């Protein structure tokens, strides 16, 4: 039987396991980031040269931050092929009702199989279970697959940062999106 926070099943594509990532997954997380960035750096918001400078310890720290910070990975036949993560934007209590969805990406040869929907769904569910009221995210545009993915969860746009990154010799804007989870009226 599956643990309630651990999903595992098989289909024609292979054995699929969705679980929370830990510090020990930093190497796999970094390697997958590099594969996705090499394919196209714009969705990741940095160049391959910049990605290559990122130390493993930084990823170990990110992957072991306490809840509601969490990263979820999709493993196909034991290999990490997709992920999605949640992070607090501030350590102060005044901002603890919200988090940012980041690190949503899938290996190019595993796209179109519902992996992003599964891992992003787990991250959103984790936010709901941790009493978050709102999840925000940023997507560098154009990125029709990602925008459609987020709209599918109910995220709506709330602003565009012009010229957010300069990559491949041109500027790209950043679309901000937000999703309300457990809207609770503030009590006096
Ligand atoms: C965006 C991305 C994460 C989608 O991953 P994926 O595993 O292929 O997506 P899924 O198969 O789970 O699809 C879920 C939904 O996303 C949308 N989507 C995915 N691929 C799409 C495409 N090529 N065109 C349009 N919509 C697409 C659809 O709404 C889809 O739902 P549907 O199948 O009911 O139509 C993947 O393309 C990716 O890693 N891209 C590069 C990195 C990136 O852009 N990350 C987001 C940064 S903000």
Please name which of 85, 86, 73 lies closest in space to residue 32, comparing C-alpha atoms. Answer: 73
Domains of the chain: 7-136 (3.40.630.30)
pLDDT band at 39 (very low <50, low <70, confident <90, very high): very high
- Please write the tens of the pLDDT for every residue from 100-159: 999 999 999 999 999 999 999 999 999 999 999 999 999 999 999 999 999 999 999 999
pTM (whole model) above 0.85 = yes
| Summary count for the chain: helices (H), strands (E) | 5, 8
Calpha distance 3→159 (Å, rounded):
39
Sequence-ordered alpha helix ranges (H) in 84-176: 115-129, 144-153
**Residue whose CA is closest, atom 25 of ligand 1?**
145
Query: Is the Cβ atom of 112 under 6 angstroms away from ligand 1?
Result: yes
Ligand 1 centroid to residue 116 C-alpha, Å: 6
The percentage of residues in the chain with a pLDDT greater than 70, rounded to a whole number, is: 90
Ligand 1 centroid to residue 121 C-alpha, Å: 13
């Amino acid at each position: 039987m599956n643990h309630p926070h651990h999903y595992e099943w098989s289909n024609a594509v292979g054995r699929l396991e969705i679980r929370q990532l830990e510090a020990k997954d930093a190497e796999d997380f970094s390697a997958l980031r590099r594969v996705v960035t090499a394919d196209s750096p714009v969705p990741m918001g940095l160049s391959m040269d910049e990605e290559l400078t990122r130390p493993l310890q930084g990823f170990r720290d990110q992957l072991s931050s306490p809840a509601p910070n969490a990263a979820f990975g999709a493993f196909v036949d034991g290999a990490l092929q997709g992920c999605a993560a949640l992070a607090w934007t501030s350590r102060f209590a005044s901002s603890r009702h919200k988090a940012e969805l980041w690190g949503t990406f899938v290996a190019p040869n595993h796209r179109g199989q519902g992996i992003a929907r599964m891992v992003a769904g787990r991250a959103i569910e984790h936010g709901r279970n941790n009493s978050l009221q709102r999840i925000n995210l940023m997507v560098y545009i154009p990125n029709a697959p990602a925008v459609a993915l987020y709209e599918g969860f109910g995220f709506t746009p709330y602003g565009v940062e012009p010229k957010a990154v300069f990559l491949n010799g041109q500027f790209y804007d950043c679309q901000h999106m937000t999703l309300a989870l457990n809207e609770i009226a503030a009590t006096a």
